[in-house]
Chains A and B, each alone.
Chain A
Amino acid sequence: DIQMTQSPSTLPASVGDRVTITCRASQSISSWLAWYQQKPGKAPKLLISKASNLESGVPSRFSGSGSATEFTLTISSLQPDDFATYYCQQYHSPPWTFGQGTKVEI
């Protein structure tokens, strides 16, 4: 199975900060990586696919980069609505696996 490791687990931040979350895969997954945002009590929301493709309706302050085994999610200027938990997920091959999550908090 492909293991996905996110860092950090918790990210203290303030409104206006630039934040970066890292996701590492245990083997190459090319660019078959997605990022999701989840708020408490809600379902995850797809933000980015294929490592860097922003989904329709997602603010442009979100961006993704990387390939093979190392990926990043960047929020250029953190907004109040962005305080949430973020997960990476590989869809290169089954079993599909998620990172353990990064909670962006005040």
Chain B
Amino acid sequence: EVQLVESGGGLVQPGGSLRLSCAASGFTFSRYDMHWVRQAPGKGLEWVSVIGTTGDTYYPVSVKGRFTISRENAKNSLYLQMNNLRAGDTAVYYCAREGTCSSVSCPLDYWGQGILVTVSS
């Protein structure tokens, strides 16, 4: 059974840093692209970052230069280092697995339960 379990969330002051982790199990982690997606309270879904199997990464403008996604295949773990946090980064953060399909990119077929990050003084 595929499982994704996020940890590391909590309350942080504006300008602070936080590192999220996602522990993966039930599949060969190294063979899949992995994503972070966030959801502000009462709002919709916003894609945050992706890391490919070869380590290539992409970010939207909203977090580029502040967030860094990484992975440690030996530990079946995904990470999100978040620096210079702002109130607007307050959200539930989900890690998600990109499935396999006939395209270069594929939908997100498994999601973690999410972890809350609150940026406030």
Q: Does A95 contact B (CB under 8 A)?
A: yes
B44, B47, B102, B113: residue with the most chain A Cβ atoms closer than 10 Å: B44
Q: Which residues of B contact A100 (CB under 8 A)?
A: 44
Q: Which residues of B contact A92 (CB under 8 A)?
A: 105
If A89-B107, A98-B45 touch, whether A43 touches B94 (CB-CB below 8 Å) is yes
Size range of the interface on A? 20 to 34
Give the A-B contact count at a CB cut-off of 8 A.
Answer: 64
Do A95 and B47 touch (CB < 8 A)?
Answer: yes
Give A contacts to B, CB under 8 Å: 1, 32, 34, 36, 38, 42-46, 49-50, 55, 87, 89, 91-101
B35, B94, B102, B105: residue with the most chain A Cβ atoms closer than 10 Å: B105
Name the contact of A91 in the complex, choosing from B94, B105, B113 (C-beta under 8 A).
B105
